[in-house]
Structure 1
Amino acid sequence: MSMHHLNKYTPIPLLCIGLLLFFTACQSTTTASPKAVKSTPPAQVILPAPKPTPTPGKWATQPTPTPILHYTTPTPVSSGVSSAAVNNTQKPVLAFYYMWYKPATWSLSTMSDLPVTQYTSSDDATIDRQLQEASAAGITGFISSWWGAGDPTDQNLTKLLAHSATLESTTHIHFASSIYFESDAPALQGTAKIVSSLRYLMTNDANDPHFFHWQGKPVFFFWDPLGGGRTLAQWASIRQQVDPNNTTIWSAEGVNMNLLSVFDGIHLFSGGYWGIQNNTMNQVDQGFRTQINTYNQTHKTQKIWAAGVVPGFNDAKVPGRTNHVIVARNSGATYRASWAGAISSAPDWITITSFNEWFEGSMIEPSVTYQYLYMSITQQYVKQWRG
């Protein structure tokens, strides 16, 4: 899904002051609740009738066109250098990624901007181009929105992994992606369907060499585990049935530290955007790092903090959306502040919302308005984080 995750954020008492300020900001700058918002793919995963679940909101200001900024392409490495060393996999950068686009998708009636090159997600040339652009910017993998076995997003995931193998064979760049388990998807409702779907992923995709692994274990990302009436007890039961020996890593989207009793880490699809609105981004990200550190010390665990970064958000044109969160891009300043906050929190991973969620306007993929600006900023901060 996508930033509809934003509207789902309701900070809890355990959060730092930076989170509490969010409520004030929401009342004064937006009508949406402080939740992450994420968009659902258009019905049938194609437009013109998208059924998004995401939701931040419309930009406070219209983006100002900027000149094309080209980021440098990585220098191919000799085959004697391991791809792990080349890609700094100890500091993964993963971007939320959507493979539901078709020719009928692209329209300024439902989007705030358009890609430089309009495309079909399943096209081989498109996947190759996106892998090349992402890896050139320092991104080490995608978190591909997944709506169930047999869905077009599932079929395209298979293609993504295969094309990643081709990328490595030709450039020696290892690009490893995961899935975003879209908990609100119709095909993933109820314990039985969740269990069967996770078993399917573990059997068919998790062991692929280009599926994202951390410390030898495949990683799954879950959207809003506690939304839609789902409970921690339900997830504990699912985990026991699917992965009783914890051979995989599960990252939950949300701000509730109780998620760590079942999941192996937390990520913010929203990027903690309230910190940007209140000029407290560093405090927000550092607050989550502190809470996870405290949990780890108390429970003798190694839970993972994945700091999120976001360039902005604009879902004003998404059909059916009524609550809009306003996160202005400010010509790249928002994205830079988001990255600075993430890096300041010493995260285990960094996630980007998003590579190409065009309906919600959170994309960094080259656009008509911004050209390569956000890819250049990404490359700059990835280098800074990795030193």
Structure 2
Amino acid sequence: MLGAVAMTVSLRRCFYLSAMVFFLSTLMAMVIIIKLSPLESVKCQQQKLITTPTIEWSNANTVSSNSLINNQQDVIDFDKNKLQNKISRLSWKMRNRVLPLFGKNNNDTLIDINYNIHIFYYAWYRSMSYDGVWKHWNHQYLPNWKKNDKRIFPEGTHRPPADIGANYYPALGCYSSLDPMVIDTHMRQLREAGVGVLVVSWIPPNSPDNTDIAMPDLLDTAHRYNLKIAPHIEPYPGRNPINLIEHIRYLFGRYSSHPALHRARRNNDGPELPVIYLYDSYVFPEAAWFELLSERGNLTLRGTEIDGIYMGLLVDSQHRSHIKKSNFDGFYTYFATNGFSYGSTWKNWKDLNKFAIKNGLIFTPAVGPGYIDTQVRAWNYENTRHRRHGKYYESSWKNAIDSGAKIITITSFNEWHEGTQIEPAKSASTKDFTYLDYEPEGPNTYLNLTKWWIQQFTNYNN
């Protein structure tokens, strides 16, 4: 009897103590949220950069909403880090409510286009209803690149429209990249977000994944929305410096006169030249690139009708030397996986920008909302970067702005295979698989966040 009474008193004291801590922590959260509210930071435009400390959300610990009062030990172990994580979530939700949201008849929220924001865009999707064939939505499972991994993983190809090679499901369904209505929708969404340049994955004619077929409609539609397009030359079969020259000549001959082709100046007083991104540029030796990109090269493009702003891909730290000796005009990092490579690691971006400034190069770090590719690389869980309801994306933006870079790329608009897309997604499932989505914030979450961060970047650089 006495034991039962003692237990009741002890439980009651724990309950009161837990309730008191919960009440005080909630009160503290409300005070801090009010002080740190983005409504206040938007008013104080003289503070050019968000002063929140850099946080690598890929390594951050999450805290459930009721973890503060689970038991007496939680109360004892309660510390500032848990409170800060909870405050951060609450603050983000409050801030998200006041973002300039897209909606029907919401044209008054349009912002100026920023041509220093480039986004990677993929035009390789085909649908049975529009093209009579599936492409990319039926992506195959790729073999494990870890030869010592003996685990068994799925093989074969996906079977759309229910089963697709992606961890998220597009709000537009399994569309065709050639469908004019899809192209128009994409361009409108990017225009409303304030993105200026689409870096369009380009594979030449007569190649298995030819995307050149989409370029005329992409350029025409982009022009209607005052957007620009820069080709992103992929490593198509047999690519080498010699046939690359011919394909660049093809690109320039066909599209250089189009007003939507993105151009930039190498020097302040120099001519405007087309901007070309070159994926996996490091697979060619620097001596080969030197022949093309140096004024002293035997096959130089400089000063010719196919001169341009050529951007190489930097993955490893030694690629800095490769970029410089190859005579590229600049470099980009592409991958949306913090810590996956030297170039994609946020903490390295300040040093990379300093290297670029010192050597007269353009540096474009790549921000991204997250990464997951286990529907095409089932064995690649370790490189997953969870979105954390937008926090990962926001952290990458903060680090990119803080690096001092004048141009920022976004990976990606619609690379669905690797889960880096900001294109709207919707809830979907099969009997064997449930797709990820953007709930509870909604399908336009990452377009809205992109718009908000472009405004911050624009304000910071004005």
Q: SS at 2:195's partner residue? A: coil
Return the offset for 1:98. Answer: 0.5
List per-residue Cα deviations over 1:52-88 (Å, max 9, x = no partner).
Answer: xxxxxxxxxxxxxx999943655499xxxxxxx9434
Residue 236 of structure 1 corresponds to which residue in structure 2? 290
CA distance in 1, matches of 2:257, 2:300: 15
Residue 347 of structure 1 corresponds to which residue in structure 2? 405
1:328 to 386, 397, 402: 386
Alpha-carbon spacing, 1:112–1:88, altered in 2? closer, same or farther (3 Å): closer
CA distance in 1, matches of 2:300, 2:170: 39
Q: SS at 2:244's partner residue? A: helix
Return the offset for 1:192. Answer: 2.1
Return the offset for 1:224. Answer: 1.4
Q: SS at 2:376's partner residue? A: coil
Matched, 1:87 2:118: no
1:357 to 415, 422, 440: 415
CA distance in 2, matches of 1:242, 1:160: 30
Q: SS at 1:102's partner residue? A: coil
Q: Is the 8 A contact 1:272 1:308 kept in 2?
A: no
Matched, 1:250 2:292: no
CA distance in 2, matches of 1:147, 1:347: 28
Residue 382 of structure 1 corresponds to which residue in structure 2? 454
Structure 2: 5+ residue runs without aligned partners?
1-55, 60-92, 128-133, 138-160, 266-271, 427-436
Return the offset for 1:375. Answer: 0.5
1:293 to 357, 360, 363: 357
CA distance in 2, matches of 1:134, 1:198: 27
Matched, 1:110 2:168: no
Counterparts of residues 38-49 of structure 1 (less than 5 Å):
none
Return the offset for 1:269. Answer: 0.5
Return the offset for 1:252. Answer: 0.8
Counterparts of residues 162-311 of structure 1 (less than 5 Å):
162-167=220-225, 174-182=226-234, 184-186=235-237, 188-215=238-265, 216-227=272-283, 230-239=284-293, 240=297, 241=299, 243-245=301-303, 247-255=307-315, 256-258=319-321, 259-261=323-325, 262-271=327-336, 273-274=338-339, 281=346, 283-294=347-358, 296=359, 302-311=360-369
Return the offset for 1:145. Answer: 0.6
CA distance in 2, matches of 1:325, 1:76: 36
CA distance in 2, matches of 1:88, 1:232: 33
* Greater relative contact order, per chain length (Cα 8 Å cut-off, separation 6+): 1
Alpha-carbon spacing, 1:108–1:273, altered in 2? closer, same or farther (3 Å): farther
CA distance in 2, matches of 1:348, 1:217: 18
1:120 to 168, 172, 176: 176
Q: SS at 1:359's partner residue? A: helix
List per-residue Cα deviations over 1:130-157 (Å, max 9, x = no partner).
Answer: 0000111111121111111355410101
CA distance in 1, matches of 2:220, 2:241: 30
Counterparts of residues 10-159 of structure 1 (less than 5 Å):
70-71=101-102, 75=108, 86-89=112-115, 92-103=116-127, 104=134, 105=137, 106-118=161-173, 119-149=175-205, 152-159=210-217
Q: Is the 8 A contact 1:177 1:211 kept in 2?
A: yes
Give the structure with higher Rg (CA): 2
Residue 40 of structure 1 corresponds to which residue in structure 2? none
**Could you tell me the TM-score, scaled by structure 2's length?**
0.59
List per-residue Cα deviations over 1:249-305 (Å, max 9, x = no partner).
Answer: 01111142121332100111014612999xx83x322121112122x2xxxxx3101
**Could you tell me the TM-score, scaled by structure 1's length?**
0.70
- What is the number of residues matched between the two proteins? 298
Alpha-carbon spacing, 1:266–1:74, altered in 2? closer, same or farther (3 Å): farther
Alpha-carbon spacing, 1:273–1:328, altered in 2? closer, same or farther (3 Å): same
Give the counterpart letter for 1:317 in structure 2.
Q
CA RMSD of aligned residues (A): 3.1
Residue 41 of structure 1 corresponds to which residue in structure 2? none
